[in-house]
Amino acid sequence: MEYIKNRRTIRKYKQEDIAADLLNELLEDSFRASTMGNMQLYSVVVTRDKQMKEKLAPAHFNQPMVMNAPVVLTFCADFNRFSKWCRCRKAEPGYDNPISFLNAATDALLVTQNFCTLAEAHGLGICFLGTTIYNPDKIVEILQLPKLVMPVATITVGYPDESPAQPERLPLEGLVHDETYHDYTPTDIDRIYAAKEAMPENRHFVTINHKETLAQVFTDLRYKKADNEYMSDVLKKTLKQQGFDK
């Protein structure tokens, strides 16, 4: 399992296709992840077509990985298939509500991570696009997702054409709590974030953005309150449109 420890996100890929058999094998194995009541509340849409990538790219803020990767996978929370099965079997499904969305999203995200691990074990590189839930309405339209299907994660996959440095992580003590949550004092925060803040690349990041602190780069430029509020509205509307909040 050393490669899980040593993994890096890969954003540049060789112009080499992924064989359909390999992709199917990785997907099939990934579906061995835990799933609620063995309902398998997910679907995966595979994008290989250039025109489809061109349509998807803007929904991912034109991050170049979408066009550059041979395969783009959109993992969806899916209560449509299960509900259709119920209706075909004289059973009345009751999954048009927020808890069902979260159950299906959970199933889908466990499969997503399982797929990433399997892909990396086979020499592929992946990039997780967090943008999926920022523009779910656009992705729903492009991929023609019916009601009770909601995109929750997008992965670009391909053979790596770069070997970036491994990014830092916070120390374990900052993330793990014994028995109960021990809330952070300002001294804890100083200690937990010290190494991250001291890194030359992070200091450079502060300088070039003309900010006083690294945190300000996040709050003022990268993940702004106004954007989060706008995207929360889109998320809520799309969940309603997709039938998860009747």
- Least Å distance between CB 210 and a second copy? 14
- Least Å distance between CB 14 and a second copy? 21
- Least Å distance between CB 137 and a second copy? 13
The smaller minimum CB distance to a second copy, of residues 62 and 199, is found at 199
CA-CA-CA-CA torsion for 79, 107, 62, 207, nearest 10 degrees? 140
Query: Which residue in 119, 115, 15, 14 sits closest to 74, CA to CA?
Result: 115
The smaller minimum CB distance to a second copy, of residues 14 and 194, is found at 194
Cβ–Cβ < 8 Å for 123, 224: no
The smaller minimum CB distance to a second copy, of residues 59 and 127, is found at 127
Calpha distance 132→145 (Å, rounded): 13
- Least Å distance between CB 127 and a second copy? 8
- Least Å distance between CB 108 and a second copy? 9
Cβ–Cβ < 8 Å for 139, 73: no
The smaller minimum CB distance to a second copy, of residues 162 and 168, is found at 168
Calpha distance 102→108 (Å, rounded): 10
* Look-up of token digits 């974030």: 193
Distances 83 to 79, 106, 111, 119 between C-alpha atoms, Å: 6, 17, 20, 30
The smaller minimum CB distance to a second copy, of residues 161 and 206, is found at 206
DSSP string spanning 198-217? H-HHHHHHHHHTT-SSHHHH
- Least Å distance between CB 91 and a second copy? 4
